[in-house]
Chains A and B, each alone.
Chain A
């Protein structure tokens, strides 16, 4: 029994790599996408909305199969890990960009106006006034999104990445007892989401303590 648990738990490695890898890439890639969303040119804003709608409108498993089987058929063979990381990162970027966009809208116009009236240039305004407030505004949603990515990462098992679900599946094939095997995997997912949720709550508490966003 202990061996089985250990075998499944080893999948935490790939699950964590997929989750945090795509989260990190998505958090960074979301910024240029935000710039696109805030562009002065309506064509660029249109492109942004098209990208976000298509990326989020197609189920993750479809993207994974397109990246792994479809692109492979075209001659550019991606490993399961590369295809998974690519797909999850692009999806993460689309979600992060939407979170950032919501955060920007939540910052009162008066903040931009005050910075303008004080003659702060655009870079200083973004760096000192808008940036920090945006960071605080989006942190809880970003944490929630990372938990979403954790759950989405389970799909990489369908193209052969040896994550928690993949290993629980193998154990079920050998020993049956699917309730135990997938139960163990499910519990590990819950356990992994707890520290992220706790981190999110602590950030949120720190913000509200510091300055109540009235």
Chain B
């Protein structure tokens, strides 16, 4: 353990890795945007009464959630050529991450949709609202409160997962770090710099997600409290009765 210079050397590698952070963020945003839209339709599919649609959606969701992302990356990048589909590294990573994001997000979106009581849809039906309008104005706004905190969390997880795209040579943070490491043998410094870059996104992300969980949950709690207070009758109320 001769060398502790990495403890203060690492910041010098940050500028070289920054373009990789840009790639990672772009990859995260595009795969999450596509993945969550796909996830929404998968959620509707799983809830469908049509057996075929239900099972098809379920299989896609379980593949997206159950197969390691690394395997998905290899399947897309090294597997699809077998079917004559050659993808460049960037679109291949996008496809694999989007598939994964779709699988995970569909369960979170489904939990949100299921949290809205059936009475809400019935009420909208009784007002002759179209089912598209019912979703758009009645169901989705209420479901979002439940779904958004875990989706923010998932976005952070997908951001971390972009690091895996290095294995198919996407020029994100870890790929650049690997190149620099191989050239300088300063592995400890360069990977420490990479870790710090990831933390710059993940720690604020975790704080945001914790905050959303608390505030979106709190509205419900205080409502429950209000009902409880109403039922037990606060002191001021008994005074008014007298």
Residues in A lying within 8 Å of B, measured CB to CB? 53-54, 56-63, 65-66, 69-76, 147, 150-152, 154-155, 157-158, 165, 168-169, 172, 176-183, 185-186, 189-190, 193
Contact = CB atoms under 8 A, between A and B. Distances in A.
Given A65-B191, A74-B1, A190 B67 contact: yes
B71 A58 contact: no
Contact of A62 (B1, B67, B71, B198): B198
Contacts of A63: 195
A212 B168 CA distance: 49
A193 B66 CA distance: 8
Contacts of B13: none
A75 B2 contact: yes
Contacts of A169: 74
Contacts of A186: 63, 67-68, 71-72, 75
Contacts of B167: 158
B75 A61 contact: no
Interface size class of B (residues with CB under 8 A): 35 or more
B29 interface: no
B22 interface: no
Given A65-B174, A65-B177, A186-B68, 13 more contacts: A58-B195, A59-B198, A65-B191, A69-B181, A73-B185, A152-B68, A154-B70, A165-B68, A165-B70, A165-B71, A169-B74, A179-B75, A186-B67
Contact of A179 (B68, B83, B186, B194): B83
B164 interface: yes
Interface string B58-70: 0000110011111
A178 B195 contact: no
B163 A76 contact: no
Contacts of B160: 57-60
A73 B199 contact: no
